[in-house]
Chains A and B, each alone.
Chain A
Amino acid sequence: MTVPHPHEKSSIEAPISDFDPYADETLSNPYPQYEALRELGPVVYLRRYGAYAIARHEEIDAVLRDHTTFCSSAGVGLANFHTEEPWRKPSLILEADPPMHGRTRKVVAGLLAPASINKLRPTFEQEAELLVDRILEKGSFDAVPDLCAAYPLKVFGDAVGVPPEGREHLLPYGDMVFNGFGPFNERFKTRLAAAQKSIAWIGEVCKRENLTPDGFGAQLYKASDDGELAPDEAPMLVRTLLSAGLDTTAFTLCNAILSFARHPDQWALVHANPSIARQALEEVLRYESTFHSFYRTTTREVELGGVLLPMEQKLCVFIGSANRDPRRWESPDTFDVARRTAGNLAFGTGIHGCAGQMLARLEGEIVLKALAKRVKTIHLEGTPVHHYNNSVRGYDSLPVSVTAA
């Protein structure tokens, strides 16, 4: 069904698709549609959104590594900031290109490098044990508030150094930000309106005087004292940390709990050998990626997968599909904690690869390991309630029961 579309300059045309990545029914289970998209061709054109899209591992990996041709400064949502007014001031790191990007990236990457965050391990482990104590005592519970959100709200909130009161604002705030990685649709508008109180709270806690003296937040202000950041950049980067690090980790834990509840044989493997927790988390990220899609923008006319893309075109990148591409993975729809997962694109790659990925892995590994040691089985006790968001995949409710080892 290859049809030329009006913008196409090339003799090689991108197949046109009616696919709607943001429809509720897609978000509930995007995988069959991803498969159709991958089969349609290496590059397709999403008619509803006037954007190109890629869903295969090979093209996605190549595009994410080529930040010169496929830039981020025009925004990582559907809107092109080069031609449209941004909905907020673009992120200093996520929506910046080199050389501006490198300066802020260096500060944030140093803060979140393994050598820096490994100091947090003992505290994170202690908190995970307390959490497992509480859920074992309950037996039956909703894993979203009681486990998946509770853990990062405590440990990530403490690590950044925000006050304990009001942290529940972090969830709608992150939700709003991640809706912004798609179109400015009704969902995004509604969440943006609903997040106004949270935006105000975040603005307050990002101020230096409201942060603990030793957290990531204080360290960003220190970097600005040292001249590594401009004075107004420190609070903006604290905001970036808070928006990027909470919902994503909570949803990753949701996807882990649900994947293991649905695949008890795989949980049995982790329970029998808790030392594979980190590897198992990586397979969760591949199989049920937290982040599913975002955009890049072409800086010049470029050929991709045989299709000539004009300059200034938005290109939707489906990393959730790359992680299920049979061209890259054997039996991609099989959840297999023993699999070698290196090369999965759950955190993106290239210069815009998630700066907090090692912190996310640390949190996820520690929670899974603590559960693996003490929880023998995880049962789903009701229908999971999906959380609809334009770019991230998670749940509002996961009724489960656990049995102690």
Chain B
Amino acid sequence: MPQITYVQPSGVRRSIPVAPGATVMLTAVANDIAGIVAECGGAAMCATCHVYVDEKCLSLLPPVSEVENEMLDSAASGRRENSRLACQIAMPAGVEEIVVHIPATQN
């Protein structure tokens, strides 16, 4: 089954099996993954579900939308090339694994 792997700043990894279409944010909240705050509940308004997508997975994801692009500038931990909002990433069909790194702080 496809999976999303969350890597904490400490290096601790946890993989959650998901169906295609599951979002990285909702999966984290449902499975009590620390560090994905998601204050706005997935409306791309708070930047508190910011993640760094593992470089090798970046090309598997749909591009950053205009709304997400603007909101990423509000991320509390610095924005990088591989920054995404977890609420805007859905598991694409046919992809086996997405690895995301959780930043040190969200607020």
- Residues of A that sit less than 8 Å from B by CB: 106, 109-110, 113-116, 278, 282, 340, 342-345, 347-351, 353, 355, 357-358, 361
Q: Are A358 and B70 in contact (CB under 8 A)?
A: no
Flag whether B41 is at the interface (Cβ < 8 A): yes
**A133 to B74 alpha-carbon distance, docked (Å):** 32
Contact B43 A353 (CB under 8 A): yes
* Contact assessment for B40 and A347 in the assembled complex, using a CB-CB cutoff below 8 Å: yes
Question: Within the assembled complex, what's the spacing in Å between the Cα atoms of A84 and B43?
Answer: 31
Do B41 and A345 touch across chains, with their CB atoms under 8 A apart? yes
Selected from A106, A113, A349, the residue in CB contact (under 8 A) with B43 is: A349
Q: Give chain B's interface residues, CB within 8 Å of chain A.
A: 26, 29, 32, 36-43, 45-47, 66-67, 70-71, 73-74, 76, 107
CB of B107 within 8 A of CB of A353, answer: no
Residue of B39, B74, B76 near A113 (CB, 8 A) is: B74
Q: Give the CA-CA distance A195 to B71 in the complex, in Å.
A: 36
Q: Are B70 and A278 in contact (CB under 8 A)?
A: no
Partner of B45, one of A115, A342, A345, A353: A353
* A113-B70, A113-B73, A342-B29 known; A358 vs B46 contact (CB < 8 Å): yes
How close is A351's CB to chain B, nearest CB, in angstroms? 7
User: What distance in Å separates the Cβ of A352 from its nearest Cβ neighbour in chain B?
Assistant: 9
Q: Are A344 and B71 in contact (CB under 8 A)?
A: no
Taking CB atoms, residues of chain B closer than 8 Å to A357 are 39-40, 45-46
Contact A361 B39 (CB under 8 A): yes
In the complex, what distance in Å separates the CA atom of A106 from the CA atom of B66? 9
Please state if B38 and A115 are interface contacts (CB–CB under 8 Å).
Answer: no
A116 CA to B41 CA in the complex, in Å? 20
CA distance A349 to B41 in the complex (A): 7
What is the predominant secondary structure among interface residues of chain B facing chain A? loop
Are A115 and B73 in touch, CB under 8 angstroms? yes
Check B70–A110 contact: CB distance below 8 A: yes
Closest to A346 in B: B41
Instruction: Please state if A342 and B38 are interface contacts (CB–CB under 8 Å).
Output: yes
Inter-subunit contact B39/A282 (CB<8 Å)? yes
- How long is the Cα–Cα vector from A282 to B38 in the complex, in angstroms? 11
Q: Top 5 A-B pairs ranked by shortest CB distance?
A: A353-B43, A114-B74, A115-B74, A342-B38, A342-B29
Residues in B whose Cβ lies below 8 Å from that of A106: 66-67, 70
Of the residues A342, A351, A355, contact of B37 by C-beta under 8 Å:
A342
Q: 8 A–B contact pairs at CB < 8 A?
A: A106-B67, A106-B70, A109-B70, A114-B74, A115-B47, A347-B40, A349-B40, A349-B43
**Complex Cα–Cα for A358 and B32 (A):** 23
Q: Is A350 in contact with B39, judged by CB distance below 8 angstroms? A: no
B107 CB to nearest A CB, Å: 7
User: For residue B26, which residues in chain A have a CB less than 8 angstroms away from its CB?
Assistant: 343
A114, A282, A340 — most chain B CB neighbours (10 Å):
A114
Distance, CA A239 to CA B41, complexed state (A): 27
**Complex contact A343–B29 (CB within 8 A):** yes
- Residues from chain A with a CB closer than 8 A to the CB of B37 are 342
Interface centre among A110, A114, A115, A342 (most CB of B within 10 A): A342
Taking the closest CB of chain B, its distance from the CB of A348, in whole angstroms, is 8
> Are A343 and B41 in contact (CB-based, < 8 A)?
yes
Check A342/B39 contact, CB under 8 A, given A114-B74, A115-B73, A278-B107: yes
Known: A109-B67, A347-B41. 7 other contacts (CB 8 A): A109-B71, A113-B70, A113-B71, A113-B73, A114-B76, A115-B74, A347-B40
Q: Are B45 and A358 in contact (CB under 8 A)?
A: yes
Q: Is the CB of B41 within 8 A of A355?
A: no
Check A350/B46 contact, CB under 8 A, given A110-B70, A278-B107, A340-B32. no
Specify which chain A residues have a CB less than 8 angstroms from the CB of B36 in the assembled complex: 342
Bound complex: CA A110 to CA B43 (Å): 14
Residues of A within 8 A of B107 (CB): 278
CA distance A331 to B27 in the complex (A): 22
Task: Tell me the smallest distance from the CB of B105 to a CB of chain A, in Å.
Answer: 12
Q: For the complex, what is the distance from the CA of A350 to the CA of B42, rounded to whole Å?
A: 7
Q: In the complex where A114-B74, A278-B107 touch, is A355 in contact with B39 (Cβ < 8 A)?
A: no
Shortest distance from the beta carbon of A356 to any chain B beta carbon, whole Å: 10
Once the chains bind, are A114 and B47 in contact (CB under 8 Å)? yes
A345 to B42, CA, bound (A): 10
How far apart are B14's CB and chain A's nearest CB, in angstroms? 16
Most A C-beta atoms less than 10 A away, residue of B45, B66, B76, B107? B45
Measured in the bound complex, the distance between the Cα atoms of B38 and A340 in whole Å is: 10
Are the CB atoms of A109 and B29 closer together than 8 Å? no
